[in-house]
Amino acid sequence: MDEKERKKMVENEAKAHNKMINCIPKLFDMIYVVFQAARCTVITKEELIYKIMAKDLDIVDR
């Protein structure tokens, strides 16, 4: 792998990392809304994931 290919790969990884980091505030807000709507402090992991995925169609299962 030459220097240009390595540099391009590092840049692509950095872009993907930044995109993921930039989604954290949106995810936090969604979790907050789910707990406010449920009016409870206890929820199972499965319920939380289902409610987040139902509200945001941009989430993709890898």
Q: What would the pLDDT profile of 7-45 be if each residue is shown by its tens digit?
A: 999 999 999 999 989 988 988 888 888 888 877 778 888
Judge whether 27 lies within some domain: yes
Would you say residue 62 has pLDDT above 90? no
Which structural domain range is residue 7 located in?
3-55
Q: Quick one: average pLDDT of 36-60?
A: 78
Judge whether 44 lies within some domain: yes
Label residue 50 by pLDDT band (50, 70, 90): confident
7-23: b or e for each residue (b if 16 or more CB lie within 10 Å)? eeeeeeeeeeeeeeeee
What pLDDT was estimated at residue 59?
A: 58
- pTM here is 0.57
Judge whether 62 lies within some domain: no
Judge whether 42 lies within some domain: yes
The two tokens of residue 7 are 């540099």
Taking the CA of residue 54 as centre, how many other CA atoms within 13 Å lie in the half-sphere pointing to its CB? Answer: 9
Judge whether 61 lies within some domain: no
